[in-house]
Amino acid sequence: MPHSNRSWLLIGATAAACLPGMTFRLAGYHPPAVAGAAVFGLAILAAAFLLSWGAETAEMDISQGLALAIIAIIAVLPEYAVDFILAWNAGADPAEAERGLAVANMTGGNRLLIGLGWPIVFFLFAYRTRLKELVVERQRSLELTFLAIATAYVIFIPLRSHITVIDTIVLVSLFLMYMFFTSRVESEEVELVGPARAIGSLLPSRRRVVVVLLLAFSAAAIFTCAEPFAESLVHMGEQLGISEFFLIQWLAPLASESPEVLVACLLAWRGRAAAGMGVLISSKVNQWTLLIGTLPVAFLVSAGDFGWTLGLPLDARQRDEIFLTAAQSAFAIAVFANLRMSRLEAAALFALFATQLFITNEHARVLYGLAYTALCIALLAWHWREIPRTLRDAVRIMQGREPAGEPGHQ
C-alpha cells in the first residue's frame, strides 16, 4: 500500500477513535469512572494527534509562531471550559465563591503546564538526541517577553482581594497584542513527515480545507470530551478519599492540560522539540493572560453585579496560590532567558513542582514561592549578558523584522 494511502487511513482511524467519547458526551451517557476515563481519554489523545498533524501542515501557509499559538488556543480549550464553569458557579452562589475552586483550577493548570509539561518535553528531547540542552528559536523571544510582562503584572494581584475587570482589560489586551505580533512573523519552510506530509501534498486550496477541518474536528473532540474526562478522574479520586480541592487543582487540570502537553510531546518525539516547547510556551501565555482575564467576567455576569473594583474574590489561600504560580512562572522565564534549557534546569522545574504536591502546609506555598523567586533572580544574574539580546529580538519581531542570528551566538 502506498505511503500516502496508509497516512490517510491513519488519519481516518485516529478521527474514528474520537467518536465514542464524543457520542457518549452528546448522548448524555455517563459511563463508570474508570471506563469514562479510558473512553474520553482516548478521544483526547486521538484529537491531540490530529491537532499536531494539522499544526505542522498549517506552517506551510502561516508562520510557525501563529500556527503554534492557534494550536495552543485550541488545546487549552478544556481548561477554559472548566475554569469558566467554576467561575460562573462562584458568581451564582457565594458559598461556591468561598471554596475558591476557579482559582485552584487555574493555578493548578498553570503549574502543571510548567512543572510537568516543560520537563517532559525536555527529557523526550534528551532521550531522542542525547543532547544536554534544548535550544528554542529566537522567535520564542516574543512569547517569553509577553509572558514576562504578564507575570510581572499577575505577581501583584495577591496584594488585592479581587481579580477585577481592570485585570481583564490589561491581560486580555496583552493577549491580543501577542496574537497580533505573532501573526506578523514570516512563514518558514517546513519538512513534513507521515500524515502531515500526505496533507501537505494536496493542492493548496484542498490542503487548507483539510487543515481547517482537522483543527475544527479536534477542537470539537477536545472541548466535548475534556469535561467528562475530568469528571471521571475526579470520581475516581473521590472513591479513593482524595479531597475536593486537591482533585480540582490537580486531577481536573491533568485532564484539561493533556491536549497541549500531548501535542508538544508528539512534536518532540518526531524531532521537533523546539516547536513542541513553543506550543507549551504559547499555551502558558494564553492561560496567563486570556484565562485569568476572563475569570472576573464570568463571575460578574453570573452574579449580575458589575463594577471596576468588583470581581472574583480572593481569600488568603487563593492569594498564596497565585503568588506561588507567578513565582514559578518567573523562574521558568529565567530558565529560557538565554533561549536554552539544560538538564539541571528541567530537573529543578520538575522537582520543585513534584515535591509541593505532598506538602499541604499553608506556609509551604509561600516558602516555595520564595524559593522560585530566589532561583529566578540567580538565573537572571547568571544570564544577564543575554537578556538584552532576547529583548531586542522581541522588539525586532514586533517591528516585523527577523531576529538577529541563532540562539547562543555571541
CA 23/CA 59 separation, integer angstroms: 31
- CB within 8 A of 247, min separation 6: which ones? 233, 234, 237, 238
| Beta carbons within 10 angstroms of residue 43's beta carbon | 27
Residue range 201-236, pLDDT digits in tens: 888 888 889 988 988 998 898 888 877 887 787 777
- CB within 8 A of 200, min separation 6: which ones? 56, 57, 60, 192, 207
Q: Which residues pair with 135 in a beta bridge?
A: 340
Residue range 3-18, pLDDT digits in tens: 578 889 989 999 999 9
What is the average per-residue pLDDT within 84-89? 82
Rounded to the nearest 5°, which phi and psi values hold at 89?
Answer: -65, -35
**Which H, E and C letters describe the chain, residue by residue?**
CCHHHHHHHHHHHHHHHHHHHHHHHHHCCCCCHHHHHHHHHHHHHHHHHHHHHHHHHHCCCCCHHHHHHHHHHHHCHHHHHHHHHHHHHHHHCHHHHHHCHHHHHHHHHHHHHHHHHHHHHHHHHHHHHCCCEEECCCCHHHHHHHHHHHHHHHCCHHHCCEEEHHHHHHHHHHHHHHHHHHHCCCCCCCCCCHHHHHHHCCCHHHHHHHHHHHHHHHHHHHHHHHHHHHHHHHHHHHHCCCCHHHHHHHHHHHHHCHHHHHHHHHHHHCCCHHHHHHHHHHHHHHHHHHHHHHHHHHHHHHHCCCCCCCEEECCHHHHHHHHHHHHHHHHHHHHCCCCEEEHHHHHHHHHHHHHHCCCCCHHHHHHHHHHHHHHHHHHHHHCCCCHHHHHHHHHHHHCCCCCCCCCCCC
Residue bearing the bigger pLDDT, 367 or 54: 367
What is the average per-residue pLDDT within 339-360? 90
CA 366/CA 370 separation, integer angstroms: 6
Minimum mean pLDDT among 65-69, 165-169, 186-190: which range? 186-190
Residue 110 in this model has a pLDDT that exceeds 70: yes
CA 388/CA 10 separation, integer angstroms: 46
**Which fold is adopted by the domain 3-398?**
A middle domain of Talin 1 (1.20.1420)
CB-CB contact of 329 with 352 (8 Å): no
Per-residue pLDDT band for 186 (boundaries 50, 70, 90) equals: low
Residue 99 in this model has a pLDDT that exceeds 90: no
CA 182/CA 59 separation, integer angstroms: 13
pLDDT at 409: 42
Residue range 309-324, pLDDT digits in tens: 678 889 888 999 999 9
Per-residue pLDDT band for 38 (boundaries 50, 70, 90) equals: confident
CA 292/CA 106 separation, integer angstroms: 8
Residue 293 in this model has a pLDDT that exceeds 60: yes
CA 284/CA 288 separation, integer angstroms: 6
What is the average per-residue pLDDT within 147-163? 93
- Please state, rounded to an integer, the average pLDDT across all residues of the chain: 85
C-alpha cell at 240: 479513593
Rounded to the nearest 5°, which phi and psi values hold at 19?
Answer: -65, -40
pLDDT at 95: 78
Residue bearing the bigger pLDDT, 237 or 282: 282
